[in-house]
């Protein structure tokens, strides 16, 4: 039995999360809030990163936002989130939302943006992935895609029992749906104020 494996071994069952669905939920939420310039910090060669990256791209195209696709190389560490934040801060304009590869990456992004005086979520909304304990801390309050570890373990035990008690030999690929948990790190993008000169026209 393998849970969210990088590769599948013959003669084993696999329990995995529908990563593309999770990323689609994140993009859907941000688009519903009014965001268009939505960036993604990917997880590089880390587990599930490729599927999350593909899910982000597919969701952006689904919403007609292909020209706004931004994939920034990263990994599942706070430093990668901080590094991408520094890169974004050096640009003329920030994206209005960023979906990080996981919660630790999102934490690094958040900290660096806040230290630079960027308001979250007023200036930039941030979404993590995994809904870890880190996301649930009150001072982080991170919107995140939740993978139910308890459900995955329960399904894995049932699958193992089928092999041992019922003699099942066929491999099973069990896909669980994630859920987006919305917290305080996402909101509508800030509306640009109208210059006084425009008001006088």
Question: For the whole model, what pTM was predicted?
Answer: 0.80
Helix axes 19-33, 49-62, angle to 10 degrees: 40
Looking at residue 15, its pLDDT comes to 60
β-pairing, 179-181 with 143-146? antiparallel
The pLDDT of residue 17: 79
Give the SS3 label for residue 50.
helix
Domain locations in the chain as residue ranges: 19-145+182-190
pLDDT tens digits, 128-171: 999 999 999 999 999 999 986 665 556 555 655 555 655 555 65
pLDDT score recorded for residue 190: 86
Position 155 scores a pLDDT of 58
3 state SS of 39: strand
**pLDDT score at 158:** 60
CATH number of 19-145+182-190: 3.30.420.10, 1.10.357.10, 3.40.50.2300, 3.20.20.70? 3.40.50.2300
């Amino acid at each position: 039995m393998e849970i969210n494996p990088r590769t599948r071994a013959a003669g084993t069952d696999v329990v995995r999360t529908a990563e593309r669905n999770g990323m689609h939920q994140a993009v859907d939420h941000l688009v519903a809030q009014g965001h268009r310039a939505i960036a993604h910090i990917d997880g590089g060669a880390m587990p599930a990163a490729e599927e999350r990256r593909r899910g982000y791209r597919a969701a952006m195209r689904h919403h007609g936002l292909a020209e706004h696709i931004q994939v920034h190389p990263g990994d599942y560490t706070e430093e990668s989130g901080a590094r991408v934040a520094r890169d974004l801060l050096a640009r003329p304009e920030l994206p209005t939302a960023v979906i990080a590869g996981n919660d630790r990456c999102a934490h690094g992004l958040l900290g660096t943006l806040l230290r630079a005086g960027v308001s979250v979520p007023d200036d930039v909304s941030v979404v993590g992935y995994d809904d870890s304990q880190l996301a649930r801390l009150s001072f982080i309050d991170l919107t995140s895609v939740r993978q139910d570890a308890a459900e995955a373990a329960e399904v894995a035990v049932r699958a193992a029992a089928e092999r041992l008690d019922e003699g099942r030999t066929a491999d099973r690929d069990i896909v669980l749906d994630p859920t987006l948990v919305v917290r305080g790190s996402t909101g509508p993008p800030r509306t640009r104020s109208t210059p006084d000169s425009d008001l006088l026209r």
